[in-house]
Amino acid sequence: MPKRDDHYYLTTPIYYVNDVAHVGHAYTSIASDIMARFQRLLGKQVHFVTGTDEHGQKIARAAEARGVGPQTFVDEISEGFRELNKKLNTSTTDFIRTTEPRHLKAAQKIWEAANAAGDIYKKSYEGLYCVSCEQFYIEKDLNDGVCPIHLKAPELLQEENYFFKLSKYTEPLKKYFDAHPDFVYPQNRQKEMRQILEEGLDDISISRSVEKLSWGIPVPGDDTQVMYVWFDALTNYITAAGYADDEKFFDTWWPADAHVMGKEINRFHSLLWPAMLLSAGLPLPKQIVVHGWLTADGQKMSKSIGNVIKPYDVIEKYGLDTFRYFLFRELPFGSDGDFSFAKLEQRYRSDLGNDLGNLVMRTVAMTQKFCAGVVPSETSGDHEEIWDRYRAHMERWEFQSALELVWEYVRGLNQLIDHEKPWAAEKEGRHSDVEKTLYTILEGLRHIAIALQPFMPETADKILAQLGFEYFNPQFDTLQEWGLLKSGVPLIAAPPLFPPLTE
């Protein structure tokens, strides 16, 4: 049975456990969470998977440097990522580790399927390998002899390995790209992949000799080799969908609707992974969604520069929802963007404190003062076409534009207060005008809270709770309706959502 349209499966990359998480990892996870929550708003069932990538040379070396066995090492760091995931309030439904037995089974199964398709062969090989990328490079792709991402010289590897016939999939992938113009998103990332396809794909080494590296999944039928970490890691996306484990679950969720990742690993997801799936006779994911990189004050974040921003520090000081808002309001999804505390504080003061926080605060206060603290009588209102635009932006991962729209609405409601001056109207005995204004704003706030829910789930809940909605399951459909806020319902005042920052 084909997968149903009301089921949405999305994934984050699985994170390398060689080091603690930084703000770039949080960016990928939160972006995915925004989409997961938006899809639930649309009423879909969502399977949302994240996890950790635990094999390979990089991890083996990091464990060695710490003087502990690899399993002990990965257990500890993986736990750190699980904690971060909770801290970010991502609504994941599974956390996968590549050292789990279910994953070993899946990785071996897809290997066997590719082998059965005649796509795996053995040969002696010598190549330049960047351990930080876990990737071979050819001379022309290096910058003055160093890896363009890690700026380090690759190591010369020489051994007999298994190879995957990636070259065989150049033409099928071109055809697939032609037939699915939104497969890699956004377009500039699609173009980069097409360029590579035009040049033609080369076969790639997909195993390592156990003598050189034993920390990996054994190649089926050959104890002397373990799988190349990317072959193993990409497979996590089907492991978590039940491949090799639960056929019914697999039919329910595969193919994935979206794999989300940063641009440096696009190539693995848009070319190698689809080729592996074609080889194994499995359907391809619907979309590869690629975002840019975060820099810190204009510079690449790196341990050696010492400018790595830790998500915990930001959350501690400004609150999680501020962090989530800032990342997607300030930085256009898909391009690189700069993280700066100065810009974050500015957004906090203006958009969050001044615009949204104040709107909620003064509306609730005026309702208490002029309407005995209950929702005043209902005013007719129009369905706002802004929510159709919001939906279109969200569906296209244009989170910045979606937030801009919400803020236009927030500012419009603030202007309504300034224009209608309910305090003056009350004095002049125009109570029904006061009621009309306040109802319009309160019902508007219900809309705002729902539209913000994917971005700022706690803030949305807090706003809805003040409006008297408890345990409310927000749905996009209710943005198309006016008048769901019932008159007579008591408001529940609460402390400011975004109190002034203290030094």
Q: What are the residues binding ligand MSP (CB under 6 A)?
A: 13-16, 24-25, 27-28, 53, 233-234, 236, 261-262, 264-265, 293-294, 301
For residue 266, the minimal CB distance to ligand MSP (Å) is 9
Q: Is 175 designated active site? A: no
For residue 111, the minimal CB distance to ligand MSP (Å) is 16
Cα 454 to chain center, whole Å? Answer: 11
CA angle 307, 308, 313 (to 5 degrees): 110
For residue 268, the minimal CB distance to ligand MSP (Å) is 7
Q: Using CA atoms, how far apart are residues 356 and 352, in angstroms rounded to an integer?
A: 5
User: Is 147 flagged in the annotation as binding?
Assistant: yes
Q: Catalytic residue among 25, 103, 436, 462, which?
A: 25
User: Is 371 flagged in the annotation as binding?
Assistant: no
Yes or no: say if 30 and 90 are a contact pair by the CB < 8 Å rule: yes
Yes or no: say if 123 and 163 are a contact pair by the CB < 8 Å rule: yes
Q: Is 130 designated active site? A: yes
Q: Is 371 designated active site? A: no
Q: Is 22 designated active site? A: yes
Q: Is 150 designated active site? A: yes
Q: Using CA atoms, how far apart are residues 44 and 4, in angstroms rounded to an integer?
A: 10
Yes or no: say if 42 and 78 are a contact pair by the CB < 8 Å rule: no
Question: Which of 45, 34, 33 has the alpha carbon at shortest distance from 5?
Answer: 45
Q: Which is nearer to ligand MSP, 80 or 373 (CB)?
A: 80
Q: Which is nearer to ligand MSP, 3 or 291 (CB)?
A: 291
* Structure token pair of residue 463: 């706003």
Question: Which of 91, 95, 92, 93 has the alpha carbon at shortest distance from 457?
Answer: 91
* Structure token pair of residue 357: 């926080």
Q: Catalytic residue among 140, 248, 303, 419, which?
A: 303
Q: Which is nearer to ligand MSP, 53 or 330 (CB)?
A: 53
Q: Is 300 designated active site? A: yes
For residue 53, the minimal CB distance to ligand MSP (Å) is 3
User: Is 130 flagged in the annotation as binding?
Assistant: yes
Q: Catalytic residue among 7, 105, 150, 393, which?
A: 150
Q: Is 212 designated active site? A: no
Yes or no: say if 170 and 93 are a contact pair by the CB < 8 Å rule: no
Q: Which is nearer to ligand MSP, 337 or 468 (CB)?
A: 337
Lay out the sheet containing 7-16: strands in order across.
Answer: 94-97, 45-53, 7-16, 258-262, 288-291, 184-185
For residue 41, the minimal CB distance to ligand MSP (Å) is 24
Q: Catalytic residue among 55, 109, 130, 286, which?
A: 130
Q: Catalytic residue among 133, 269, 436, 447, which?
A: 133
Q: Which is nearer to ligand MSP, 74 or 294 (CB)?
A: 294
Dihedral sign computed on CA atoms, order 291, 266, 244, 177: positive
Q: Which residue is nearest to ligand MSP (CB)?
A: 262
How many alpha carbons lie under 13 Å from residue 257 in its C-beta half-sphere? Answer: 23
Residues annotated as binding site? 130, 133, 147, 150
Residues tagged in the binding site annotation for Zn(2+)? 130, 133, 147, 150
Q: Indicate which residues carry an active-site annotation.
A: 22, 25, 130, 133, 147, 150, 300, 303
